[in-house]
Amino acid sequence: MAETGHRPKKLCFVTIGATASFDSLISACLEPRFLEALAGTGYTHLVVQYGKEGKGLYDRAVSKSSRVKDLGISITGFDFNRNGLGQEMRAAKGESGGVEGVVISHAGSGSILDALRIDVPLVVVPNPNLLDNHQVELAEALEEQGYVVHGRLNDLSAAIAQSEELRKRHKQWPPVNSGQHRRARGLAGVMDEEMGFLD
């Protein structure tokens, strides 16, 4: 049925963020193997946010993927949106029609938090070129707790299958504080104490 009829829109949104370039993620998400994995999982659209310096690489990679048309995936790209990427993330969530897809993001905390709040399945790919690479720790910790898939650049297609599992498990952010933190007043409590509000 899916082969003959009109497939519902299913979007994969890839974002490399605003601050650093991330060529290896742009290349990885336009590799034939990855595009095949997308097509095999019912994806119809791929949107790539490639950053200020990524256009050349993106254009070359798209033109090289000659098999793209056979797979029936429409690929578009843009450099950056100063108003934030909420619109694209919600499109991946399926809010503008179609079914829920996936967001593949660099491991910047702003982008991760955005995606977690929009509640769309998320693959986090740390950038190996960053000097102080604490991003891997964050990706590992979040994967361990079951909120994201920790994507590897050398096998991004595996992350697509894993994200389908993530969709089924579906764990919502923010987590409800448990145990001793359940009734904690959090940062507001600390700020009250330091301000001198004792009520």
The residues that touch another protein, with contacts defined as CB under 8 A, are 17-19, 82, 107-110, 113-114, 134-135, 137-138, 140-141, 174-175, 177, 181, 184, 186-199
Q: Which is nearer to another protein, 161 or 188 (CB)?
A: 188
Taking a C-beta distance cutoff of 8 angstroms, is the pair 91, 85 a contact?
no
Cα–Cα distance for residue pair 105/92, rounded to 1 Å: 12
**What's the min distance (Å) between Cβ of 152 and another protein?**
18
Min dist CB 141 to another protein, Å, is: 5
Closest approach of Cβ 184 to another protein, in Å?
A: 5
Q: End-to-end distance of the chain based on CA atoms, in angstroms?
A: 63
For 119, other C-beta atoms within 10 Å of its C-beta total 15
CB of 198 to another protein, least distance (A): 5
- In the complex with another protein, the residue whose CB is nearer, 57 or 130, is 130
- The nearer residue to another protein, 37 or 148, going by C-beta atoms, is 148
- What are phi and psi for residue 149, nearest 5 degrees? -105, 130
Compute the Cα dihedral for 190, 193, 196, 198 and give only its sign. positive
